[in-house]
Amino acid sequence: MLRVPEAPESPMLNRVVGLGVEAPATEADIDEALRAMGVDVAFYVAVAPRARPAALPEWLRARGLEPGWGWMLFRRDVKPPASAATSLRVVEVDTVEHAEVFGRVVRVSYELPEAIEPRLARMRDAGWRCWVAFHGDEPAGAGALFAAEGVAYLGYAGTVPAHRGKGAQSALLAARIRRAAELGCDLVITETGERGGDRPSNSYRNIRRAGFTEDVVTANWLGRS
**Which pLDDT score is estimated for 93?**
98
**Which pLDDT score is estimated for 53?**
98
Quote the distance between the C-alpha of residue 207 and its chain's center: 13
**Which pLDDT score is estimated for 196?**
79
Helical spans, DSSP H, in the chain:
27-36, 56-62, 96-109, 117-121, 168-182, 202-209
Q: What domains can you pick out in the chain, each with its CATH number?
A: 78-185 (3.40.630.30)
| Span 12-50, pLDDT tens digits | 999 999 999 999 999 999 999 999 998 789 999 999 999
In angstroms, the CA 52 to CA 67 distance is 17
**Which pLDDT score is estimated for 200?**
63
**Which pLDDT score is estimated for 86?**
87
Average pLDDT, the chain: 95
Supply φ then ψ for residue 135, to 5 degrees: -105, 100
**Which pLDDT score is estimated for 85?**
78
In sequence order, the 6+-apart residues with CB closer than 8 A to the CB of 161 are 108, 109
Q: Buried (b) or exposed (e) across 161-198, using 16+ Cβ within 10 A? A: eebeebbbbbbbbbbbbebbeeeebeebbbbbbbeeee
Task: Report the chain (225 residues): mean pLDDT per 10 consecutive residues.
Answer: 92 95 97 90 96 98 96 97 86 97 97 96 97 97 98 97 94 97 98 82 92 97 87
**Which pLDDT score is estimated for 161?**
96
Report helix, strand or coil for 145: strand
Angle at which helices 168-182 and 202-209 pack, to 10 degrees?
Answer: 40
For the chain, the helix, strand and coil percentages under 3-state DSSP, each to the nearest 5: 30, 30, 40
Q: Select from 175, 177, 144 the least CA-distant residue to 77.
A: 177
